[in-house]
């Protein structure tokens, strides 16, 4: 034990903080190999050997099975749609040349054309994930054998398979509970995200590939990111000319959408919770209706209400206020961009105010009544009470909500997509006047098939939201004292 501690303190001294766990793992690894029984030593090469040594047959067999399966996967490279997994996938991952990659055809001596580069990248990352899993299982198998060694040493019997299973419901319960999520989230969230990040560094763009008459693409480094500032590439000019305006509008939108809904919601909550007001529940229900109804219904209703042939324009025309329909939402070319922007913010209030109202109702009722009583005795005006008592109190408690709703608004896809579709459109450009980064990302990838550009926009969006989160959340009490709260 002493030697271990010595190594520990040594690694701690010499390594920077983030490497500490790595150093620790290595020192642990060396110790296990040196101190372990023959079984443990063998376990480093054959999974489950240590368990067989300690007569834990089922466990050993499971480890062995896993090792065999992964090795089979790595060596025999099962393939889907002609794209292989395993070591071939690792070889494919560099995608060095347009004409190479894919499965090797021994007859012609060439790689098969018609291979799918996006699958090569995807499968490459899957294979890397499998390798990581291999080493995790490897570590688990050594650990399990070493534990049996230790049990033997102190005269205990190594645990039986039944006891191990029981352990999974008690001291290792977190493993049981987290495994489904870890697997599912790795496959359906983490892997896809990494894959899309990777696409930002490729030439994967349907337009380019159609022009070249190929379905293969290659890595191109930071070129797509450079295109945002220089305008090179097939979508380059579009990206360069529209990036800054869209980014700016995304911020303006997020600021206005967050603040209008926030203050509007608080004021609405104050009105509804006013003393002596009857029918509180009735009013609250009306506003909750807009939350309960799917947004694609309510927003499309608003869109048609305000549309060219809708009742609002007809009414204004009947009254003689306007001669021809107003394009409130910028659905036609030539409609006012400013008007469309103002309208989305206003309509968004209709969507967002009820949320804040719900959220703050409870908080408002918790404000100590004697604060108001004291202010009233001093003859403070209602407005002053609002700014000096209500707002500071509510603001203090709802800061996390304010941050998350700001980030939510940056990523607010539905409101823009359903209301204006990003319009008014610019001829020749994908991003219209009210497009946010996310709706632009959608248009560029789904409509245009320009996956690399879409990925670049996505990464920029991430950088923005991540910066905001880092700066605000990590400083907040909620994050730092997360586990002391209880």
Partner 1 sequence: MSTNVHPKKYRSQSRNRAVSLSVTYTILIVLGIVWLIPLAWIVLSAFRCEFQPDGTFIGRVTSNFFPKAYGLKNFKDLFGATYYGVPNAFLKWILNTLLIAVIDCVISTFLVLSVAYCMSKLKFRMRKPFMNISMIIGLFPGFMSMIAIYFLLKSIGLTGNPSHPEYSVIGLILAYSAGAGLGFQIAKGFFDVIPNALVESAKLDGCTSFKIFRRIILPLAKPIIIYQALMSFTGPWMDFIFAKVIIGADNAAYWTVSVGLYSMLFGTHPDTNLFTQFAAGCVIVAIPIVTLFMFLQRYYVEGVTAGAVKG
How far apart, in whole angstroms, are the C-alpha atoms of residue 484 and residue 413?
A: 36
User: 39 vs 458, which CB is nearer to partner 1?
Assistant: 458
User: 165 vs 237, which CB is nearer to partner 1?
Assistant: 165
Closest approach of partner 1 to the CB of residue 251, in Å: 16
User: 19 vs 34, which CB is nearer to partner 1?
Assistant: 19
Closest approach of partner 1 to the CB of residue 61, in Å: 25
Closest approach of partner 1 to the CB of residue 116, in Å: 8
CA–centroid distance for 14 within its chain: 35
User: 34 vs 466, which CB is nearer to partner 1?
Assistant: 466
Closest approach of partner 1 to the CB of residue 49, in Å: 26
How far apart, in whole angstroms, are the C-alpha atoms of residue 43 and residue 194?
A: 32
Measured CA to CA in angstroms, residue 125 lies from 8, 25, 101, 102, 395 at distances of: 33, 24, 15, 15, 44
**DSSP per-residue letters across 441-458:** HHIIIIIT--HHHHHHHH
What is the 3-state composition of the chain as percent helix, strand, coil, each rounded to the nearest 5? 70, 0, 30
Closest approach of partner 1 to the CB of residue 228, in Å: 16
Instruction: 332-340: list long-range contacts, CB under 8 Å, 24+ apart.
Output: 332/308, 332/423, 332/424, 333/424, 333/425, 333/427, 334/424, 335/423, 335/424, 336/424, 337/424, 337/433, 337/434, 340/420, 340/423, 340/424, 340/433, 340/434
User: 42 vs 198, which CB is nearer to partner 1?
Assistant: 198
Closest approach of partner 1 to the CB of residue 253, in Å: 15
Alpha-carbon torsion, ordered 172, 176, 179, 180, to 10 deg:
-170
User: 229 vs 479, which CB is nearer to partner 1?
Assistant: 479
Cis peptide bond upstream of 361, omega within 30: no
Closest approach of partner 1 to the CB of residue 453, in Å: 12
User: 5 vs 477, which CB is nearer to partner 1?
Assistant: 477
How far apart, in whole angstroms, are the C-alpha atoms of residue 445 and residue 428?
A: 16
Residue 227 and residue 233 in contact, taking contact as beta carbons nearer than 8 Å: yes
């Amino acid at each position: 034990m002493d030697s271990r501690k010595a190594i520990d303190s040594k690694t701690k001294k010499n390594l920077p903080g983030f490497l500490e766990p790595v150093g620790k793992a290595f020192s642990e690894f060396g110790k296990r190999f040196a101190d372990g029984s023959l079984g443990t030593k063998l376990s480093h090469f054959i999974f489950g050997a240590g368990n067989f040594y300690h007569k834990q047959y089922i466990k050993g067999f499971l480890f062995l099975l896993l090792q065999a399966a992964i090795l089979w996967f790595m060596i025999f490279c099962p393939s889907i749609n002609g794209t292989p997994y395993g070591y071939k996938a690792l070889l494919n991952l560099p995608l060095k040349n347009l004409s190479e990659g894919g499965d090797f055809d021994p007859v012609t001596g060439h790689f098969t054309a018609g291979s799918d580069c996006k699958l090569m990248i995807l499968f490459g990352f899957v294979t890397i994930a499998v390798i990581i899993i291999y080493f995790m299982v490897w570590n688990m198998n050594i650990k399990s054998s070493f534990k049996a060694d230790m049990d033997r040493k102190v005269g205990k019997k190594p645990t039986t398979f039944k006891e191990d299973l029981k352990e999974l419901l008690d001291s290792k319960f977190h493993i049981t509970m987290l495994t489904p999520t870890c697997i599912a989230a790795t496959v359906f969230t983490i892997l896809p995200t990494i894959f899309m990040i990777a696409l930002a560094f490729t030439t994967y763009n349907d337009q380019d590939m159609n022009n070249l008459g190929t379905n293969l693409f290659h890595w191109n480094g930071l070129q797509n990111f450079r295109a945002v500032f220089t305008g090179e590439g097939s979508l380059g000019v579009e990206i360069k000319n529209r990036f800054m305006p869209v980014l700016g509008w995304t911020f303006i939108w997020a600021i206005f959408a967050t603040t209008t809904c926030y203050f509007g919601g608080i004021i609405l909550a104050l009105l509804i919770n006013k003393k002596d007001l009857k029918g509180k529940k009735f009013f609250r229900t009306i506003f909750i209706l807009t939350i309960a109804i799917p947004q694609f219904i309510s927003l499309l209703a608003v869109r048609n209400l305000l549309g060219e042939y809708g009742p609002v324009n007809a009414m204004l025309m009947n009254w003689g206020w306007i001669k021809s329909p107003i394009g409130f939402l910028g659905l036609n070319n030539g409609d006012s961009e400013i008007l469309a922007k103002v309208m989305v913010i206003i309509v968004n209030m209709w969507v967002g105010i009820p949320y804040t109202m719900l959220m703050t109702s409870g908080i408002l009722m918790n404000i100590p009544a004697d604060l108001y009583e004291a202010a009233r005795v001093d003859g403070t005006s209602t407005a002053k009470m609002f700014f000096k008592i209500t707002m500071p109190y509510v603001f203090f408690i709802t800061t996390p909500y304010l941050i998350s709703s700001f980030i939510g608004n940056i990523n607010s896809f539905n409101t823009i997509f359903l209301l204006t579709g990003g319009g008014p459109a610019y001829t020749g450009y994908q991003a219209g006047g009210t497009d946010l980064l996310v709706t632009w990302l959608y248009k560029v990838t789904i409509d245009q098939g320009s996956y690399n550009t879409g990925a670049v926009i996505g990464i920029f969006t991430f950088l923005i939201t991540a910066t905001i989160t880092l700066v605000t959340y990590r400083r907040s009490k909620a994050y730092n004292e997360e586990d002391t709260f209880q």
